[in-house]
């Protein structure tokens, strides 16, 4: 007879779905899995819904894979259920043969500089879910009434944020940008966006496909100092043959520097070797003070020189940390684990909650697969059937099942159709819960 195990996966983002897929793929005649996926929001897909930039619809097509996983026999969705509030890790461990935590890293790291709390200073961890219709971020007041924005960080999130602010908003009309954000962007006074990295171009965390898109922007000129890129190229080449990815990045930056500038009203400016020291302003953001760095013997050091950029909004995109869930051990913004196993528990962790906020969506597939291999190896005797549904209904939880989510999904898509958009996202929980 087949051994049938019950696994709870908490977090319906890429890492959670790829963990479910790995378990589904490891099934044999002798080994079966029933998977319950628990998600805090009434909607699944995690960063594919609330992180990926709306002007990157191709990246979101991975949701089709998630839906295939979700409609495979033995899979159930329990959305609108929050771990730590509606159900605890201990309770899940009692009910399931194994628990997989895939809750990501949703809060932005702090710069830790004076002025960071001034009105007009935001984290990308708030700004990105705001424009992506995450219900917890809808009410954030983001004024786009100034001419200049500063984005801090030289990674792909900084790039997404800068592009969203610098694009001609008409280009977003056929995307799934939250309606409140689209309206604000249409009324935005921002015309100049400065994107600032503290190290050199050779150290930037941008990836080249994202850089290569920039010269193609029709309504935004993108400026990078060619001399700075050439110097970076020389420094990096002096250390030996350039790794492929680095060469591709620096080539892409050179292409941006060399691209014809059309004198457009909208512009993006890249600054490197610029450490933010202070955000200044009288009751709101007015300028950012940067320390100028240089690279010496491969090290980034301060020159003690500074410069300022006058601006009305600052968005820091410098990485993320996990929000702590009671009962789980944390260290350096992620869950303590050994190869994905949480010590002393029957729980595992995958994705950004496991390894920190790095890698693209696909990175989670191999990562989750490895952790699920370990989970399968460690399985003991199957437990008796779990009663999650009963426990949650006793507590008055309003569970969004896969079937209900499919109705929400269909509703959003049908609202988008006449507008030429992939969907119009619902933003209020009660609206989502009201779709029957």
Which residues contact ligand NAP by CB under 6 A?
111, 152-158, 160, 197-199, 203, 205, 207, 210, 276, 317-319, 357-360
Residue among 158 and 279 whose Cβ is closer to ligand NAP? 158
Q: How far is the CB of 356 from ligand NAP (least distance, A)?
A: 9
Q: How far is the CB of 207 from ligand NAP (least distance, A)?
A: 6
Residue among 88 and 107 whose Cβ is closer to ligand NAP? 107
Q: How far is the CB of 358 from ligand NAP (least distance, A)?
A: 4
Residue among 160 and 412 whose Cβ is closer to ligand NAP? 160
Q: How far is the CB of 124 from ligand NAP (least distance, A)?
A: 7
Q: How far is the CB of 31 from ligand NAP (least distance, A)?
A: 33
Residue among 140 and 360 whose Cβ is closer to ligand NAP? 360
Residue whose CB is nearest to ligand NAP in the complex, by number: 155
Residue among 19 and 154 whose Cβ is closer to ligand NAP? 154
Q: How far is the CB of 224 from ligand NAP (least distance, A)?
A: 15
Q: How far is the CB of 359 from ligand NAP (least distance, A)?
A: 5
Residue among 132 and 347 whose Cβ is closer to ligand NAP? 132
Residue among 198 and 341 whose Cβ is closer to ligand NAP? 198
Half-sphere exposure of 110 (CA within 13 A, CB side): 6
């Amino acid at each position: 007879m087949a051994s049938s195990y019950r696994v709870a996966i908490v977090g319906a983002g890429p890492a959670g779905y790829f963990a479910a897929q790995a378990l589904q793929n490891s099934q044999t005649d002798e080994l079966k899995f029933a998977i319950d996926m628990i998600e805090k929001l009434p909607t699944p897909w995690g960063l594919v819904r609330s992180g990926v930039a709306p002007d990157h619809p191709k990246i979101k097509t991975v949701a089709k894979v998630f839906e295939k996983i979700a409609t495979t026999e033995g899979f159930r969705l329990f959305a609108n259920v929050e771990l730590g509030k509606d159900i605890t890790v201990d309770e899940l461990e009692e009910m399931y043969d194994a628990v997989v935590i895939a809750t990501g890293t949703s809060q932005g790291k702090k710069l830790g500089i004076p002025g960071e709390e001034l009105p007009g200073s935001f984290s990308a961890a708030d700004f990105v879910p705001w424009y992506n219709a995450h219900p917890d971020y809808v009410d954030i007041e983001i004024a786009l009434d100034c001419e200049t924005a500063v984005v801090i960080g030289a990674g792909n999130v900084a790039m997404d944020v800068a592009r969203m602010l610098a694009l001609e908003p008409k280009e977003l009309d056929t995307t799934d940008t939250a309606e409140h954000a689209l309206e604000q962007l249409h009324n935005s006074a921002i015309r100049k966006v400065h994107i600032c990295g503290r190290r050199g171009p050779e150290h930037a965390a941008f990836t080249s496909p994202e850089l290569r898109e920039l010269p193609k922007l029709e309504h935004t000129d993108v400026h990078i100092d060619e001399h700075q890129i050439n110097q970076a190229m020389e420094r990096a080449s002096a250390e030996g043959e350039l790794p492929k990815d680095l060469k591709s990045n620096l080539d892409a930056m050179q292409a941006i520097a060399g691209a014809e500038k059309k004198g457009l009203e909208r512009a993006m400016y890249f600054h490197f070797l610029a450490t933010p020291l202070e955000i200044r302003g009288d009751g709101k953001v007015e300028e950012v003070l940067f320390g100028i760095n240089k690279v010496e013997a491969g090290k980034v050091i301060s020159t003690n020189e500074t410069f300022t950029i006058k601006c009305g909004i600052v968005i820091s995109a410098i990485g993320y940390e996990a929000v702590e869930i009671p009962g789980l051990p944390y260290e350096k913004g992620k869950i303590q684990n050994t190869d994905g196993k949480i010590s002393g528990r029957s729980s595992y962790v995958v994705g950004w909650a496991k390894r920190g906020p790095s890698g693209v969506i696909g990175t989670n597939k191999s990562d989750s697969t490895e952790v699920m291999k370990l989970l399968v190896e460690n399985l003991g005797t199957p437990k008796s059937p779990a009663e999650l549904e009963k426990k949650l209904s006793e507590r008055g939880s309003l569970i969004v099942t896969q079937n209900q989510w499919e109705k929400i999904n269909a509703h959003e898509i049908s609202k988008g159709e006449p507008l030429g958009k992939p969907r119009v996202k619902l933003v209020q929980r009660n609206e989502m819960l009201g779709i029957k």
